[in-house]
């Protein structure tokens, strides 16, 4: 998911990172139409059909609706790894292993998985995810069930989160079956998914997408779905991670 802001170099870095995880023709880039030409220059080897162009910026929820329906047209059994384009990963081999382990779990279960980074400090610049396993969950391995999502907290609350060991940084990397995320979006944000009704036949038509986005509310996936679903799970991640905005 590339909103077109920031350094074009980072899009290239993220693309190459996922070559460790996926075949080249399985990598899709979603960006705004006005950044399409720039994306093609940065990634000339990207198949044209793997560049999905949004007419207007509407946030991560409409972006995921567009992407998930597009992938279901190609493969009804598709598993999606959704990532922001601007994350910095400091151990890419460990990142790849973590993603593949989480994918293995998602292939067996109809869950919405988030990679949760074990925090190194009580940082107020990141969102946090609390898990149900309680104190010292940082020491556990394998998938954990999500209890709450919290946006960037004040310092005193971040200190508490860090001490308990049951809160993780929200990396913004999600893994799920295309059918599962569509079910949950249709349940919790029908005001978005209803605009894509008829996607099976018409999603590839420019006027269909233009109309859907013109009427679509701006909404984040965390706010619209992840804070409400009972299918949210977290896979602990111990690789080095940061948001480009923080560097």
Domain boundaries, the chain: 8-246
pLDDT at 179: 97
Residue 8: Cβ-neighbour burial (10 angstroms; 0-12, 13-18, 19+): middle
Hey, is 233 helix, strand or coil?
Answer: strand
Token digits of residue 226? 């992840």
Hey, is 128 helix, strand or coil?
Answer: strand
Nearest-angstrom CA–CA distance, 42 and 184? 34
pTM: 0.92
DSSP type of residue 119: P
Token digits of residue 48? 């044209």
CB-based contact 235:112 (threshold 8 Å): no
Residues 6+ apart with CB under 8 A from 204: 73
Nearest-angstrom CA–CA distance, 244 and 247? 5
Q: What angle is formed at CA 127 by the lines to CA 241 and CA 121, rounded to 5 degrees?
A: 55
Positions of the chain with pLDDT under 50: 245-247
pLDDT at 6: 61
Other beta carbons within 10 Å of 124: 15
Residue 90: Cβ-neighbour burial (10 angstroms; 0-12, 13-18, 19+): exposed
Distance of CA 66 to the CA centre of its chain: 13
pLDDT at 55: 95
Q: Which CATH architecture has domain 8-246?
A: Alpha-Beta Complex (3.90)
Q: What angle is formed at CA 183 by the lines to CA 179 and CA 188, rounded to 5 degrees?
A: 150
Tens digit of pLDDT for each residue in 178-187?
999 999 999 9
């Amino acid at each position: 998911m590339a909103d077109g802001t920031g350094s074009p170099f980072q899009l290239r870095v993220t693309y190459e990172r996922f070559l460790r995880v996926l075949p080249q023709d399985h990598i899709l880039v979603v960006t705004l139409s006005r950044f399409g030409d720039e994306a093609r220059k940065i990634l000339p080897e990207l198949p044209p059909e793997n560049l999905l162009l949004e007419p207007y910026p509407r946030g991560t929820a409409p972006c995921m609706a567009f992407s998930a329906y597009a992938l279901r047209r190609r493969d009804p059994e598709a598993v999606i790894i959704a990532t922001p384009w601007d994350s910095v990963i400091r151990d890419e081999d460990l990142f790849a292993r973590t993603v593949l382990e989480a994918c293995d779990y998602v292939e067996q279960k109809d869950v919405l998985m988030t990679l949760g980074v074990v925090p190194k400090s009580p940082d107020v610049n990141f969102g946090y995810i609390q898990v149900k396993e309680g104190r010292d969950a940082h020491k556990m391995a394998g998938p954990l069930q999500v209890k709450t999502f919290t946006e960037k907290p004040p310092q005193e609350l971040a200190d508490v989160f860090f001490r308990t060991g049951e809160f993780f940084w929200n990396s913004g990397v999600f893994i799920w079956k295309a059918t599962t995320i569509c079910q949950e979006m249709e349940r919790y944000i029908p005001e978005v998914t209803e605009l894509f009704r008829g996607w099976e036949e018409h999603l590839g038509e420019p006027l269909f997408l233009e109309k859907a986005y013109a009427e679509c509310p701006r909404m984040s996936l965390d706010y619209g779905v992840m804070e409400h679903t009972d299918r949210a799970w977290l896979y602990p991640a111990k690789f080095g991670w940061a948001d480009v905005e923080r560097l």
